[in-house]
Amino acid sequence: MLATKTDRVPTGAQWLHEVKWDGVRVLVDVRDGAVRMTSRNDNDVTLAWPDLSDAPLGGRDLLVDGEVIALNERGVPDFRVLQHRMHVRNAREVARLVTSVPATLMVFDLLRLDGEDLTARPLEERRALLEELPLATSKWQVPAAYDDGDMLFDATLQQGLEGVVSKRRGSRYRFDVRSDDWRKLAHRHRGSFVVGGWRPQVGTTDRLASLLVGEPTADGLLYRGRVGSGIAGATSARLAALLAPLGSSTNPFADEVPRVDARGTFWVEPRVVVDIDTHGSGYDRLRQPSFQGVRDDLSPEDLS
């Protein structure tokens, strides 16, 4: 179940409010003590998170929805930190990263318990059952829910957290649905965009220095700007390897790309989604954009 963007925290007794975590969404299915973790696009990501893959309740059967997070140097959840782990599948490298980039699973919904499907129950009942489970001693945590959304919004802003998710107490859980029963409000001006091309570093032909990104709309992929900040070293190499198989002779943007940006650009098929931080929102062009990471848990269709 996915949250709908909002421009204000909803008020009223029918709403519960939670911290919006800056991490990677996962469903975690535990059967007979075996844990299987899947991403938003239904990829098995269990191997990437061995430190989260011990069944916290032994052989009890359960299915939970949550977010994998990792903390930055300020002790704040940061999606960029997870970039070092989320694409790694080599067992030796994963084992090293478990120590250097420890992860935590923030469990915010309980969908099945001891074989019983709970998705048709109201959220407040699912939360009550979840909070009764003895998860606090594991790498899984159950974050608090709050009645006062405005208070939580101010507190998360002061603490440097991403924002607030508000959920109707009586809402049932619906898989793969973006529902108005869940609403999200982020503090940072961060958005997800689709890569349509890349520019090499001056004096080279293969060293990726910047991305050309766009926003999917009813009129096609509209150009939103060129992003170079945050792309260097290993990040540049990873992006180059990711985009290499998607090379195209066709410009994928539906509107005009300024000549200064189009010159020397290598076009790619618009399949890769990235997160970009920008100064201000509501502009046709990104202002002082900064690359934050690849969102392989999102597809271009998710942004439409």
Contact present, 101 and 77 (Cβ < 8 Å): no
- Of 16, 19, 14, 20, nearest to 166 by C-alpha is 16
Q: Which residue in the list 5, 20, 167, 184 is annotated as catalytic?
A: 20
Tokens of 271: 């399949």
Contact present, 67 and 105 (Cβ < 8 Å): yes
Tokens of 166: 């508000």
Q: Catalytic: 167?
A: no
What are the φ and ψ backbone dihedral angles of 95, each rounded to 5 degrees?
A: -60, -40
- Of 213, 149, 170, nearest to 20 by C-alpha is 149
For residue 247, the SS3 value is strand
Q: Which residue has the tokens 């440097």?
A: 160
- Of 252, 253, 254, 244, nearest to 269 by C-alpha is 252
* Cα separation, 258 vs 225, whole angstroms: 9
* Cα separation, 85 vs 65, whole angstroms: 20
Contact present, 170 and 124 (Cβ < 8 Å): yes
Catalytic site residues? Answer: 20
